[in-house]
Amino acid sequence: MLLNLLFPLPALVVGILIMRAAGVPTTAWGQNLAACVIGILLYFVLARPRVSRQGETGLLIAGVLALGVLAATWLDPGLQGVHRWLMLGPVRVHAGALVLPLVLAALAGLERAGRRGASTLLAIATALVLALQPDAAQATAFVAGAVVLLLPRSPAEGRGWIRLLPLVVLAGLSWLRKDPLAPVPHVEGIVGLAAEQGHVWGIAAVASLLLLPVPFFVARGRGDGRVGLALGAYIIVTILATAVAHFPVPVLGQGASPILGYFVAIGLLKRFQGSVPRGGTESPAT
């Protein structure tokens, strides 16, 4: 649904206007504009509905590759012992913000196919890498989404909730190491920067952030309902983490990776909404 493309626009516009008013260089907020254009293209690539479970093979491969991207952050020298980024030319990519929606979609595909062991291993491996980076915001947000997907769906699954324990433990451990990096005003401190411009800008900044999770919960009842809830939980926790500690504010703050990751998430949401089983009818929500 093209309406979903409108939800990130207020945060993008408000963030850019705040950065311009604060004298942030054009090269910084210009990355947000470029990421928006690329993100829209990604949305249309990913939003194509799958026609069968066999059609999820590419998505599952993408999930494993996404885990590889997270692990590749150790190929970068890092910043003060923190390994969250990859250098692609002049651009520093925040790996977790970019690829975690893909991992959550891969978990959803594995769960639908009944491959619970594979989905559990992928979830734990991803949470472990995030905890080691360390990236407490992304680790906690990912685990929140993964728990939604991996929760037992019926009493027949017995003690299926036990596989959630390692995820919760790893999310908790990710907070034990103090983040040594100083916050950047137009990245982690963009809401405070907005408030400095006046109450109206502060309210606009917060309101635009509140819009970001909306499409994932409006989508309930169409396609695979748990995917929307999982991605929505991921987005909400990512936003809430910025109020607890110094983490990049998604979409509103400067940074291409969270913007691209958000468009990937709404593209995957559309993909699962339009999922059609081999019989040709829409699959029921789960």
**In the chain, where are the structural domains located?**
2-273
Nearest to 197 by CA among 10, 17, 13, 29: 17
Give yes or no for residue 190 having a pLDDT over 60.
Answer: yes
* Rounded Cα gap, residues 131 and 126, in angstroms: 9
Give yes or no for residue 278 having a pLDDT over 50.
Answer: no
Return the ∠ at Cα 179 (arms to 173 and 184), rounded to 5°. Answer: 140
The tens digit of pLDDT for each residue in 109-142 reads 888 888 888 899 999 999 999 999 999 999 999 9
pLDDT band at 88 (very low <50, low <70, confident <90, very high): confident
Number of CB atoms found within 10 A of residue 281's CB: 8
**Quick one: pLDDT at residue 259?**
98
**Quick one: pLDDT at residue 160?**
75
Give yes or no for residue 56 having a pLDDT over 80.
Answer: no
**Quick one: pLDDT at residue 273?**
79
The tens digit of pLDDT for each residue in 199-233 reads 999 999 999 999 999 999 986 555 567 899 999 99
In degrees rounded to 5, what are phi and psi of residue 48?
Answer: -60, 130
Give yes or no for residue 165 having a pLDDT over 90.
Answer: yes
pLDDT band at 283 (very low <50, low <70, confident <90, very high): very low
Q: Residues 94-119: what's their mean pLDDT?
A: 92
Task: Quote the tokens at residue 231.
Answer: 């991605």
pLDDT band at 285 (very low <50, low <70, confident <90, very high): very low
Give yes or no for residue 52 having a pLDDT over 70.
Answer: no
To which H or E segment does residue 149 belong?
helix 136-150
Residue 66 in contact with residue 264, Cβ under 8 Å? no
